[in-house]
Structure 1
Amino acid sequence: MGAELELRILNADDLNCANEYDYFKENISARFKDNITSEFLQCMLEINTPVFNNLSDLIKYFKEITLELNSLASKKNLLLQSSGSSALKQEHLELSSNKRYQELSNEHKILLDDFSICGLHVHVGFKNFDKALKAYNFSLSYMPIFLALSASSVYSNGQDTGIHSYRTKVFDRLPKASIPEYFTSYTQMKNVYNVLYKTEVIQSEKDVWWDVRIQPSFKTIEFRVCDAINDFDRLEIIIGLFRGICKLSQLKEVSFEPMQVLKQNMWKASRYSMNANFICKSQQKTIREVTNKLIDELYEHHIISDEFMDKAREIVSKNSIAQDMIEIYEKTNDLREVEKIGVIK
């Protein structure tokens, strides 16, 4: 397993975005220097973890690197924040100096004008492509669960969007994003990639921004559906459940859902997070029912421990981060208080 978490850099005084990526890259210790990279904007950075076999080691790494990043931030009166979107209206945003991001900006124009969004990406590796492909197909119907659990972008750029994961709607505007199709073989999927390469639509596999994508050369699945979060307990459960469905996929048959059902479930999760309804085998269920059933199956197949199961059920019973944001705003009428929810402590 590995994971990527995108962070926003804020001025501590006014919570405005600070274009300070270079400061962190230049001053972070040698131990972590190769594990932070630039993002689309200079006020963002991305943590890339090493590969881990143990979930607790991965979470420990996140805690250690964010501790050092927070120490650097405090020396310059900065804060690090991780949520799907910035609640406050942000100005004076600077594009990354990375050539790839400059080309993306030129290609997509206004679609990327409010792209100060942050996500969580989780990678799971497999021994061979067939196992990875089965897990990829199996996972598509579960993506709304992870979207609901991570939703943290109901307020964006000074507006109440009404959409609990507005970040996903920003991404959905892009031609190479959103929920992907099923693939029945390596050849079928590779043909799609080959066409995109040949026509220069993509330069590499990382130019495909599906909610979940398979990387043929590495035999890995990358789950990209989640909003960024700063809650390490929730982070642990989400990553553990991603790994869990990959293992479960090898024991069960894939249920191929109609694309319109997949899209409808994704919409409901983005709109209502943990209060969403879910179409499951032609029946309507709550997203909590579906998630708890998944947890039951993972436990029954000895994929998760008693401790993980209890922690997962607790997270599922809670509000989403977006729901907490709504409650805070209704009490305070202050988007600064909403923005503070995502600050990494």
Structure 2
Amino acid sequence: MSDQMPTDIPFQHSSTGTLGVEMEWMTVDQGSGAQIPAAPFVFEVTGSSARIKPELFTSTVEINTDIHHTTAAAIDQLQALYNQVSDMLAGRQAALLSTGTHPFSHWRDQQISDDPRYGRLLDRLQWMARRFNIFGIHVHVGMPDGDSCIHAMNHLLPVLPVFLAISANSPFWHGEDTGLSASRIKIFEGLSQGGMPFYFENWRDFEHCAGRLQATGSIDSVRDIWWEMRPHPDFGTLEVRIGDMPACRDDAAAYIAYVRAEAMAALHADAIPRIHPSLIRENRWRACRFGMRATIIDPFTEELIPVLDWLEKRLERLDQCGIDRSELALVAGRMDCWRSHGGGDAIQRHLFSRQSSLPDLVRAIRLQDGWNS
């Protein structure tokens, strides 16, 4: 089998630090708040578009940016695309919702998109693919070559749990409060190639891993590797996929800016000792359970520290590394709000405590997300 194993995976060059963002929005009924299969109508209007695309379920619209050089520019385009889709849906009494999971709609009720690739995935993954009714934000950061991408990915592994903590926005699942801040990740990790990525020695090491998976029929292509962070050789990027769909526009901007800042710092960082995966997994669990209220194990000192305190110190370190201060300001500007009110998970629970039903909760989430203003 090794003689047939594909090993050469070209990594397309990208300008270092360029930025692209994908956001997975669900379509909901304006009245009931339930997920509805409104996405095909959007695609009928837009036609084939690289910016507005289908996903696994017909109740999902994926919105993608062009290549940008700043978070502010990416957010501006995301807002314009959101407005475009939202206006289309309004005539159908439908709307877009930004959460990592729907508070009460069930995966069994979702229709599969009419795409041969999704049919193959469903045939291979069965129940796991059917349950994949979850929604996230993916941030692509341009890398000059494959070895640089692997270098940056290795450095970012210990920081992955912090990305999850500040985006955690999926406390409800099928009408129940899960007790978790980010239940989405527990569905995500059930995929055969889901969960945390691995340390790799270099690009050749990754090529061997991906080639083995293809040669053994485990994946059709690198696109079927759904790790929470992965190289994207076709785009020439490092793609961070761990984040829930953020609770609001300002949280989205802070998340995108922070991921890009860490990726740029990692790209230029000197070699450091690898953090044991068991510590990263424990912090990942703490972020999943408690979100921004988590106390994590500092991966570099192994001391316990509240995640927002760690992030505050980290921003100072990133500033010393020469990261653009306008980008860091987008993160720092959310700290007081996060300390006072928590993240998306806490906001959902607070809103639910003041509503009479889960449909009312969905309407309340839409009203406070900042994309409608």
Shorter-chain TM-score category? Answer: over 0.9
> Which amino acid counterpart does residue 327 of structure 1 have in structure 2?
H
For residues 308 and 273 of structure 2, the distance between their equivalents in structure 1, rounded to whole angstroms, comes to 20
Is contact 2:161-2:287 (8 Å) kept?
yes
| Residue pair 1:9, 1:80 contacting (<8 A) in 2 also | yes
Q: Secondary structure at the match of 2:354?
A: helix
2:26 pairs with 1:4? no
Quick one: distance in 2 between partners of 1:178 and 1:117?
14
8 Å contact from structure 1 (residues 328, 337) kept in 2? no
Shift of 1:218: 4.2
**Counterpart in 1 of 2:276?**
258
For residue 160 of structure 2, what is the aligned residue in structure 1? 143
Residue of structure 2 aligned with 1:320, choices 319, 343, 355: 343
Contact 1:35 1:48 in 2 (8 A): yes
Hey, which bits of structure 1, 4+ residues long, moved more than 6 A? none
> TM-score normalised to the size of structure 2?
0.87
- Amino acid aligned to 1:44: T
Distance between the aligned counterparts of 2:200 and 2:315, measured in 1? 26
Cα distance per residue 1:296-330 (max 9 Å; x no partner): 11122231326435414345434110011112223
Helix, strand or coil at the partner of 1:302: coil
- Cα distance in 1, alignment partners of residues 335 and 321 from structure 2: 17
Q: 2:288 aligns with which of 270, 282, 297?
A: 270
> Alpha-carbon deviations, 1:12-56, whole Å to 9, x = none?
11111111211101213x7x9331111111111101111111221
For 1:45, which of 61, 65, 74 is the aligned residue? 61
Deviation track 1:47-91 (CA, whole Å, cap 9, x = no partner) reads: 111111122111100010101111111111111111100001336
Q: How does 1:88-107 map to 2 (within 5 A)?
A: 88-90=104-106, 92-107=109-124
- Unaligned ranges ≥5, structure 2: 1-18
Map of 1:1-345 to 2, 5 A cutoff? 1-28=19-46, 33-90=49-106, 92-249=109-266, 250-280=268-298, 281-305=301-325, 307-308=329-330, 310-314=332-336, 316-317=338-339, 318-332=341-355, 334-343=357-366, 344-345=371-372
State how far apart, in whole Å, the 1-side matches of 2:139 and 2:353 are.
Answer: 33
- Matched residue count: 343
Q: Distance in 1 between matches of 2:365 and 2:26?
A: 9
DSSP 3-state at the match of 1:292: helix
Give the alignment's TM-score, normalised by structure 1.
0.94
- The Cα of 1:253 is off from its aligned counterpart by 3.4
Partner AA of 1:79 in structure 2: A
Asked if 1 retains the 8 angstrom alpha-carbon contact of 2:29 and 2:93, the reply is: yes
Contiguous gaps of at least 5 residues in structure 1: none
Alpha-carbon distance in 2 for matches of 1:66, 1:221: 24
User: Do the aligned residues in 2 keep the contact of 1:190 with 1:216 (CA within 8 Å)?
Assistant: no
Matches of 1:7 and 1:86, distance apart in 2: 11
Question: What is the DSSP-based 3-state SS (H/G/I as helix, E as strand, rest coil) of the residue aligned with 2:164?
Answer: helix
SS in 2 for 1:177: coil
CA distance in 2, matches of 1:333, 1:211: 35
- Contact kept, 8 Å, 1:158 with 1:335, in 2: the verdict is yes
Letter of the 2:316 partner, please give it. D
Q: Match of 1:4, SS? A: strand
CA distance in 2, matches of 1:113, 1:188: 32
Measured in 2, the distance between the counterparts of 1:230 and 1:37 equals 21
Tell me by how many angstroms 1:273 deviates: 0.1
- Residue 230 to residue 271, structure 1, CA distance change in 2 (3 Å): closer
Question: How far is 1:141 from its partner?
Answer: 0.7
Structure-1 separation of matches of 2:331 and 2:355: 35
Identity %: 22
3-state SS of the aligned residue for 1:85? Answer: coil
